[in-house]
Amino acid sequence: MEQLLQQIEQLKQEINAFEGVNGEAAEAFRIKYLGTKGIIKGLMGEMKSVPNEQKKDFGQVMNSLKQLAEEKWESLKGAEDNSTTESGIDWSLPGDAASVGGRHPISLVRNQIVSIFKRLGFAIAEGPEIEDDWHNFTALNLPENHPARDMQDTFYISQNPDWLLRTHTSSVQARMMETHKPPIRIICPGRVYRNETISARAHCFFHQVEGLYVDEHVSFADLKQTLYFFVKEMFGKDVKVRFRPSYFPFTEPSAEMDISCSVCGGSGCSLCKHTGWVEILGCGMVHPKMLDNFGIDSNKYTGFAFGMGMERICQIKYRVNDLRLYSQNDVRFLKQFTGGI
């Protein structure tokens, strides 16, 4: 007991003599004397070795020591608040707010497209980006040596013609028809790859959203009304729409869909190539042979499909005319989209 009292008196002298005016010194004092593994905590543990008749006196002495240490620590913190370090930093000033990022413009457009079609009952379907020839071409009515294959420059894996980087998300539609029975109502967002020279208007990878609806009594009128709803929600109630006949090997009949140019209002600009119209997607009724490829009775079921490029929608909504900006991670570009969801 006598030895412990002498040690406490010595600690009181050390505490009174301790000096420091910066945050590091104050924190070092707290850890040494008041921390969970500090000196005072350790002395408290010696209570078990003190005789019972002396425990009360020893407890009073320890409380006095702890109070002295706490008062000293408060004074050290007060000195810190009223001073600056040798480097000239005032530690009492508030810190810089952390910068808040935002979603990539492609993600913003993807989320909006998905939200619109979800309200129409479409589910999201995804598939592999490394695909086989059957799901990417042959099952979609593009057999070997079909001239339509030349429409897409393909990245093959190790020169193996059976494996490739998917050229469209139609391969996801193929996999869904292979494993699911009608009714099928899906959208397939994802990244696709084509062997093209990178420029402001073309890239070796980009993003698509394709849709598929297969059921009994599905008509071209259903397709048109679905797409009318989409463009009105995406671009506003005043947008005008037109359909032009086209050709796709996996749909018949096929069409391309244009909307009135939102930049020039139809008067003509570089975006619409001075026509007043901007193409945004291709669509059509699912080819009966494609249904038969997956064991779906084409005499009983019909369907429609459509596909669009997300970068194209971004170009119209955000006036982004250079495809390379989406993948360059330029902070000056990305900061323009902070706050999106």
Whether residue 102 lies inside any domain: the answer is: no
d(CA 259, CA 308): 13
176 and 259 part of one domain: yes
pLDDT-derived band at 21, boundaries 50, 70, 90: low
Whether residue 204 lies inside any domain: the answer is: yes
121 and 200 part of one domain: yes
Whether residue 99 lies inside any domain: the answer is: no
Lowest mean pLDDT among 38-52, 70-84, 276-290: 70-84
Burial of 100-126, coded b for 16+ CB within 10 Å and e otherwise, reads: eeebbbbebbbebbeebbeeeebeebe
57-78 average pLDDT score: 80
- Angstrom CA distances, 278 to 239, 257, 275, 285, 291, stand at 11, 8, 8, 22, 31
258 lies in which domain range? 109-337
Whether residue 87 lies inside any domain: the answer is: no
Strands 160-165 and 156-157 come out as: antiparallel
262 and 331 part of one domain: yes
Residue 85: is its pLDDT beyond 60?
Answer: no
148 and 253 part of one domain: yes
308: tokens are 């669009």
Whether residue 91 lies inside any domain: the answer is: no
Which CATH number do you get for residue 229? 3.30.930.10
235 and 166 part of one domain: yes
Do residues 38 and 31 make contact, with C-beta atoms less than 8 angstroms apart? yes
Instruction: Name the domain count of the chain.
Output: 2
43 and 117 part of one domain: no
Whether residue 96 lies inside any domain: the answer is: no
Q: Report pLDDT digits (tens) over 143-189.
A: 787 776 766 688 888 777 789 999 999 999 999 999 999 999 999 99
210 and 316 part of one domain: yes
82 Cβ contact partners less than 8 Å away, ≥ 6 residues apart: none
182 and 60 part of one domain: no
14 and 58 part of one domain: yes
In percent, how much of the chain has pLDDT > 70? 93
Q: What is the pLDDT, as a whole number, of residue 80?
A: 56
Q: Report pLDDT digits (tens) over 36-67.
A: 778 878 877 777 777 777 778 777 888 888 88
Whether residue 90 lies inside any domain: the answer is: no
7 and 50 part of one domain: yes
* Residue 276 falls in which region: left (phi positive, over 0), alpha (psi -120 to 50) or beta: left
**Which stretch, 7-21, 76-90, 231-245, has highest mean pLDDT?**
231-245
77 and 120 part of one domain: no
Q: What is the pLDDT, as a whole number, of residue 39?
A: 82
Do residues 269 and 261 make contact, with C-beta atoms less than 8 angstroms apart? yes
